[in-house]
Amino acid sequence: MLAPIASATAAPIVPPPSVMAAVPPLDGTVIYTEEDARTMADIEQHGRTKGRLRSVVPDSRIDVMPATLKREGWNLCALTFDDGPHRTVTRQILEVLNREGVRATYFPVGRVAQHQGDLIRDFVTSGHEIGNHSLTHSDLRVMPVEAQRYEVAETNRILRSFGANPVLFRPPYGRYSLSLLGVARNEQMNSVLWTVDTRDWKVRNADKIVEHIKTAAGTGSVFLMHSTYPSTAEALPRVIAELRAKGCEFVTLTQWLERMRELALPKIVNAGMPTPPAANAAPAARN
């Protein structure tokens, strides 16, 4: 169930000092360091030891293994985009998604998004999902809990004022702590990662992005891309074509999670209902 949308006119909360000092990336474009690269590589490596659901939702108590997905013929794929909005590139990505008829999930940075409400509204109007990627794209693990809560809650307030209903939270750089997961849960949100990092943030080359998709995409993948690099927008039509050729059915990440949980949860049989007789059962013998 989606959490109810809070009032779009809710007043901003007074930010803690640690958040006031944080500066979001210029035009939403994040420069990833070698340390960031190691963190993101670790996420993929650890994800290979888990099923699809726990790879994406770090605090999930249920899971689905790739073998189950193959047996069920299940190949829903979710394209997700982080960072920004970048005034030109993010708009180009939206245009490609709409032209291709693909619904995706976009995680903007709150303090950047607050100046581009028209773009957020256009994502929502086009049927895409908007998630929460924090207010400043800082490493939230090092912040006190009240600052973590502000980063999440204030971003929700901003995005809701543009008509979005964020129910997913993606921690910046994929870095999370137990306290941060708890903050997201208290905001009625799921914390989410990915299964395939396209490495668009590293290679900045459309051909390399497409080639990586060819080799790394698996059954029921969640793809991490970014809305701020021209090479990502250039690669996107070919990425979509490659994934369609692999049999991907594109859905938003919330839809992916809902369908994955349906597959993970055991079917409940009502033991109180009588078992219907078999159609060809022989009549009972008479004494």
* Residues tagged active-site: 82, 226
Contacts of 149 (CB under 8 A, 6+ apart): 183, 186, 187
Q: Which two tokens stand for residue 87?
A: 């005034």
Extract the tokens encoding 175: 């870095």
In angstroms, the CA 253 to CA 83 distance is 16
Q: Are 191 and 184 in contact (CB under 8 A)?
A: yes
* Token pair belonging to 130: 């908007």
What's the CA gap between 202 and 32, in Å, rounded? Answer: 8
Secondary structure, 3-state, 227-261: CCCHHHHHHHHHHHHHHHHCCCEECCHHHHHHHHH
Q: Which of 226, 221, 231 is nearest to 32 (CA)?
A: 226
Q: Per the structure block, which two tokens stand in for 275?
A: 């078992």
- What is the spatial distance between Cα 135 and Cα 152, in angstroms, rounded to a whole number? 7
3-state SS class at 48: coil
The DSSP element (H or E) to which 53 belongs, if any, is helix 52-56
